[in-house]
């Protein structure tokens, strides 16, 4: 059993009441892929392309920051934990 992680955020897909804990870059990419499939928004497709091109820690941090901004703008970023 691993210790609880402190660096994560919680988000939800539009139209669902379930929340998803995003704790690392891989979780973020999977979430964005599913979000793009669900919404087919061109801005989300651009975000996904940016995330898939990230090849270093700095660019992945920027991509996760953009994801958080997109979630916040759409009211999908949860400020409470699971």
Q: In the prediction, which pLDDT does 6 show?
A: 56
Please give the full DSSP string across 34-52, using - where no structure is assigned.
Answer: HHHHHH--HHHHHHHHHHH
pTM above 0.85, yes or no: no
| Helix axis angle, 57-73 to 25-39, nearest 10° | 40
Is pLDDT at 4 greater than 60 in this prediction?
no
**Dihedral-angle region of residue 75 (phi above 0 means left; psi in -120 to 50 means alpha; beta otherwise):** left
Question: How far apart are the C-alpha atoms of 18 and 55, rounded to whole Å?
Answer: 30
Mean pLDDT computed over 45-56? 88
């Amino acid at each position: 059993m691993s210790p609880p992680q402190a660096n994560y955020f919680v988000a939800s897909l539009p139209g669902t009441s379930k929340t998803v804990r995003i704790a690392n870059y891989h979780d973020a990419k999977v979430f964005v892929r599913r979000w793009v499939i669900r919404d087919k928004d061109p801005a989300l497709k651009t975000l996904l392309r940016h995330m898939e091109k990230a090849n270093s820690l700095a660019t992945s941090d920027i991509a996760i920051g953009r994801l958080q901004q997109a979630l916040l703008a759409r009211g999908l970023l949860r400020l409470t934990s699971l």
